[in-house]
Amino acid sequence: MSAMPPRGRLYLVPAPLDHGCDVQVPLADVLPAGTIAQAAALTHWVAENAKSTRALLKRIDAVQPLAQPIQAQHIAELPRDVHKKGDHQPAGGWDARPLLAPALQGHDMGLVSEAGMPAVADPGSSVVRAAHALGIEVVPLVGPVSLLLALAASGLNGQDFAFMGYLPQDGAERARQIQDMARAVQKSGQTRILIETPYRNQALLAALVAGLEPGLRLAVATGLTLPNARTRSATVADWRRGGMTVENKVPAVFLVGRG
């Protein structure tokens, strides 16, 4: 009776933050050599988007030759519902274990999102849970995480913070949640972190400036790791006096805290 092959590992591979941007930064500027080398060695992937993963592999190949040509890479996509609804809730979720069959056969695998660290403000947590359930070692690689970069640059409370994701698009519901958030921040001092689809950046900024108390501090970090990266951190009152604009085509992170 033949022995079962040792299980492969699941590597969490961060992607550059320039997805969808007009400018791409040199890969070596945002990913360490060790991360690039490990990604180049992988041949089996679970991806948020196969097309963007192939584009990332092409960039990696220009720095470190891939173990297999892009056409020979095995890339399995997460279901579309996982993108829309998220996969961070274990109850009632889908079974990600079949995606990890190559790891059970001894292949190391990569989990990758379109930008940043998979499973952090992006799909992938269900795959990580499945790996733990199957006894597959999970190895996060070093790379950019926009939420933490923005938090560090904001000057806000980095000891106690919470990621809130997206606010509702409905104006009334969004205003209500902003008011609730403002009260919670004033009471606890906890920093709240938000994101938005880039083409709605300006709308979210306007809603935050209108709905937050003047003494609270609002930080907006745009284009992180890109040549035009910018972080502005000021009281809401200062935002109102100095004008409130943010680019609508660049990924942005919004943070609210006590001034």
Task: Give the pLDDT confidence of 151-181 residue by residue, as tens digits.
Answer: 999 999 999 999 999 999 899 999 999 999 9
Residues of the chain with CATH 3.30.950.10: 146-258
pLDDT for position 117: 96
Domain 146-258 carries which CATH code?
3.30.950.10
> Mean per-residue pLDDT for 4-13?
92
Considering only CA atoms, which of 123, 148, 106, 122 is closest in space to residue 10? 106
Quickly state the pLDDT bin for 90 (edges 50, 70, 90): low
Residues of the chain with CATH 3.40.1010.10: 10-140
Cα dihedral 113, 115, 118, 124 in deg (nearest 10): -40
Domain 10-140 carries which CATH code?
3.40.1010.10
Examine the pLDDT at 4 and tell me if it is beyond 90.
no
Chain centroid, CA 68 distance in Å: 27
Examine the pLDDT at 2 and tell me if it is beyond 80.
no
**pTM assigned to the model:** 0.91
Examine the pLDDT at 118 and tell me if it is beyond 70.
yes
pLDDT for position 198: 87
pLDDT for position 3: 64
Could you tell me the CA-to-CA distances from 6 to 38, 78, 136, 202 in Å, in that order? 19, 25, 10, 51
> Mean per-residue pLDDT for 225-241?
94
